[in-house]
Structure 1
């Protein structure tokens, strides 16, 4: 008898609950995944993973070959490439297995180019696990069913699901909400302007100071050079450059000059940061987009730095077709850094900061690529 294969089956909290409510007998994938789905055989295991909370929550046994069925099961999408399945092992969100708890056991965490590179495996399903990894995950889930251990999870992340759509360029988002800022009268905006401006300046200052302490040259957007934070002028930050290297055309140089913060090593740009505090986060993304459009072969780490509560907004905007169709796609090369993680990381490192390398940001940066959770 052939050895069974193990496959990733992505869910959001919402689609997992709907799967259970519908009898837990059918699992589905996007039409674009049909070719891969045809490789799944009778008796294979689908390992269920909740994207928002990054936990394994169940194991399904495949009871049919793939078939196409558009009958509605899930509210938001069809997922027509379907399999009849049997639910073998089921956990709850509280007892589900955090994937990071298996870091030392799974090969997907080995030989990574960056600390968060493992997340790429969990961006689309089905995806085939290595035999050893699949067996380990199933065994751990079975043990957790017998001896459950509860660990708290974020309810908002469990239910989080940006609206995604199939397109000729892949899975994209089409935000249908109007920015709060656009709906408010000017008086309301002016009342918010000062605290938002202060937060923007604080994060700019942190990034500039951080780059400087890492031994890098730094650049602040040309129109922000006269800003200050807590009485310290940006122009007093060590290693702040007055001019940028001129290896690009005029249009590219103009775009780069307006990016909120740059880190440089010699004449090479190491990282670019856009700080987006307001609800209308579009301007920074457009600058990133312009840069990628004009210099598609440029190798720069791009980051959107924003408040934690803006995570979903950043994700949705970044995955618009306008940005997703770029080559390379902007969501693939631009990552999200939440304010809280940046501040906590800097505080935690303390005086050791000067011994760090810029790559440490990968430990807190989050991928902005869409997942294909059913």
Structure 2
């Protein structure tokens, strides 16, 4: 069996809400991330990082291979990219979804991650620019643990 992949989906709270409104059944990625989307397979994990909030909000499991769809669901905040329709998609199912206002602040977790070590500590947010990033299992488990602890405190 192929090794499970772990991904961080970086997006606005509005795009996260669009995914929530679709019942965490589908996730789209920007057109420039076709190759990454094509690497995804059932069983892979997606972690949601919300820009602006600088917080982790959810984990979902990929349940399909990637496919192309241009149905408008998500929106780019950049006026020059209004045509962006996040065409590379996978089907997903939710694993942990925190309620609004209960999201996990990313900074304390990010400072422990292997992935963020490429950047100077004071610029950790640079690690979360762009729509999609692959991370290792250890970083995924750090985030998952923080989300589980937050979930337990609101449950």
User: TM-score, structure 2 length as denominator?
Assistant: 0.85
Pick the structure with more strand per residue. Answer: 2
Q: Does 1:4 align with 2:10?
A: no
5+ unaligned residues in a row in structure 2: which ranges? 77-83
Pick the structure with more helix per residue. Answer: 1
2:151 alignment counterpart: 145
State how 1:94-113 maps to structure 2 within 5 Å.
94-110=101-117, 112-113=119-120
SS at match of 1:136: helix
2:132 alignment counterpart: 126
Contact 2:29 2:131 in 1 (8 A): yes
Deviation at 1:59, TM superposition (A): 0.4
SS at match of 1:83: strand
CA distance in 2, matches of 1:55, 1:22: 21
Deviation at 1:109, TM superposition (A): 4.2
CA distance in 1, matches of 2:97, 2:7: 16
1:42 alignment counterpart: 42
SS at match of 1:32: helix
Q: Does 1:92 align with 2:99?
A: yes
Deviation at 1:106, TM superposition (A): 1.5
Deviation string 1:63-102 (CA, Å, 9 cap, x unpaired) is: 1111100012235541000000001110123211111122
State how 1:224-243 maps to structure 2 within 5 Å.
none
Runs of 4 or more consecutive aligned structure 1 residues displaced over 6 Å after TM superposition: none
Larger Rg: 1
Deviation string 1:114-168 (CA, Å, 9 cap, x unpaired) is: 620x32221113210122101111122122211239xxxxxxxxxxxxxxxxxxx
CA distance in 1, matches of 2:35, 2:116: 27
CA distance in 1, matches of 2:49, 2:21: 17
Deviation string 1:29-56 (CA, Å, 9 cap, x unpaired) is: 1111101211112100000110111100
Task: Choose the corresponding residue for 1:135, options 115, 118, 141.
Answer: 141
State how 1:1-374 maps to structure 2 within 5 Å.
1-75=1-75, 77-110=84-117, 112-113=119-120, 115-116=122-123, 118-148=124-154
CA distance in 1, matches of 2:118, 2:37: 28
In angstroms, what is the RMSD of aligned CA positions?
2.0
Higher relative contact order (CA 8 A, sep 6+): 2
Deviates more, 1:88-97 or 1:49-58: 88-97
Deviation string 1:241-283 (CA, Å, 9 cap, x unpaired) is: xxxxxxxxxxxxxxxxxxxxxxxxxxxxxxxxxxxxxxxxxxx
